[in-house]
Amino acid sequence: MGLQITKCCFCIPLKAGVIIISLFWLFAALFLIIFRVLSLKLYMQDKELREVSEEYSITFTSVIIMIVLNAFVTLGTAFGLYAVIFSVCIGRN
Protein backbone atom coordinates (compact mmCIF):
# COMPACT_ATOMS: atom_id res chain seq x y z
CA MET A 1 0.00 0.00 0.00
CA GLY A 2 2.99 2.26 0.22
CA LEU A 3 4.47 4.58 2.77
CA GLN A 4 2.00 5.88 5.34
CA ILE A 5 2.87 8.97 7.32
CA THR A 6 1.65 8.81 10.91
CA LYS A 7 3.73 11.55 12.58
CA CYS A 8 4.13 15.26 11.94
CA CYS A 9 7.73 16.41 12.30
CA PHE A 10 8.60 12.85 13.36
CA CYS A 11 7.23 13.31 16.90
CA ILE A 12 3.63 14.59 16.98
CA PRO A 13 0.59 12.60 15.84
CA LEU A 14 -0.32 13.65 12.30
CA LYS A 15 -3.78 15.07 13.00
CA ALA A 16 -2.56 17.13 15.97
CA GLY A 17 0.41 18.41 13.93
CA VAL A 18 -1.82 19.49 11.06
CA ILE A 19 -4.12 21.31 13.49
CA ILE A 20 -1.17 23.09 15.13
CA ILE A 21 0.32 24.15 11.80
CA SER A 22 -3.10 25.27 10.50
CA LEU A 23 -3.75 27.34 13.61
CA PHE A 24 -0.32 28.95 13.24
CA TRP A 25 -1.03 29.89 9.61
CA LEU A 26 -4.52 31.12 10.49
CA PHE A 27 -3.32 33.42 13.27
CA ALA A 28 -0.34 34.62 11.20
CA ALA A 29 -2.56 35.47 8.22
CA LEU A 30 -5.11 37.26 10.42
CA PHE A 31 -2.31 39.21 12.10
CA LEU A 32 -0.88 40.25 8.72
CA ILE A 33 -4.29 41.35 7.46
CA ILE A 34 -4.86 43.50 10.55
CA PHE A 35 -1.31 44.88 10.41
CA ARG A 36 -1.57 45.77 6.72
CA VAL A 37 -4.99 47.40 7.07
CA LEU A 38 -3.75 49.53 9.96
CA SER A 39 -0.55 50.46 8.13
CA LEU A 40 -2.57 51.43 5.07
CA LYS A 41 -4.83 53.56 7.26
CA LEU A 42 -1.80 55.31 8.80
CA TYR A 43 -0.26 55.84 5.36
CA MET A 44 -3.48 57.37 4.08
CA GLN A 45 -3.63 59.70 7.10
CA ASP A 46 -0.05 60.82 6.49
CA LYS A 47 -0.79 61.62 2.87
CA GLU A 48 -4.24 63.01 3.73
CA LEU A 49 -5.30 62.13 0.19
CA ARG A 50 -4.30 65.61 -0.95
CA GLU A 51 -2.31 64.36 -3.84
CA VAL A 52 -2.41 61.15 -5.75
CA SER A 53 1.17 60.50 -6.68
CA GLU A 54 2.71 57.50 -8.36
CA GLU A 55 4.26 56.45 -5.04
CA TYR A 56 0.85 56.55 -3.36
CA SER A 57 -0.87 54.52 -6.07
CA ILE A 58 1.87 51.87 -6.13
CA THR A 59 1.87 51.57 -2.33
CA PHE A 60 -1.91 51.48 -2.12
CA THR A 61 -2.19 48.86 -4.87
CA SER A 62 0.50 46.60 -3.44
CA VAL A 63 -0.97 46.71 0.08
CA ILE A 64 -4.46 45.92 -1.24
CA ILE A 65 -3.05 42.97 -3.21
CA MET A 66 -1.26 41.67 -0.09
CA ILE A 67 -4.45 42.02 1.98
CA VAL A 68 -6.44 40.06 -0.61
CA LEU A 69 -3.79 37.33 -0.81
CA ASN A 70 -3.71 37.04 2.98
CA ALA A 71 -7.50 36.83 3.00
CA PHE A 72 -7.28 33.86 0.61
CA VAL A 73 -4.65 32.23 2.85
CA THR A 74 -6.94 32.75 5.84
CA LEU A 75 -9.91 31.20 4.03
CA GLY A 76 -7.85 28.25 2.80
CA THR A 77 -6.38 27.64 6.23
CA ALA A 78 -9.79 27.87 7.90
CA PHE A 79 -11.20 25.36 5.40
CA GLY A 80 -8.27 23.00 5.93
CA LEU A 81 -8.64 23.26 9.69
CA TYR A 82 -12.37 22.55 9.39
CA ALA A 83 -11.69 19.54 7.16
CA VAL A 84 -9.09 18.10 9.54
CA ILE A 85 -11.15 18.57 12.68
CA PHE A 86 -14.32 17.07 11.23
CA SER A 87 -12.71 14.38 9.10
CA VAL A 88 -13.57 10.72 9.57
CA CYS A 89 -10.73 8.27 9.15
CA ILE A 90 -11.74 5.62 6.65
CA GLY A 91 -10.43 2.14 7.31
CA ARG A 92 -9.90 2.54 11.04
CA ASN A 93 -11.55 0.05 13.31
CA 51 to chain centroid, in Å, comes to 33
Give tens-digit pLDDT for 61-93. 888 999 999 999 999 999 989 988 888 765 554
| Mean pLDDT, rounded, for 31-38 | 91
Its pTM stands at 0.74
Q: Rounded mean pLDDT of the chain?
A: 83
CB 25 within 8 A of CB 77: yes
Evaluate the CA torsion angle 54, 55, 59, 60 in order and state its sign.
Answer: negative
Q: Report d(CA 32, CA 14) in Å as an integer.
A: 27
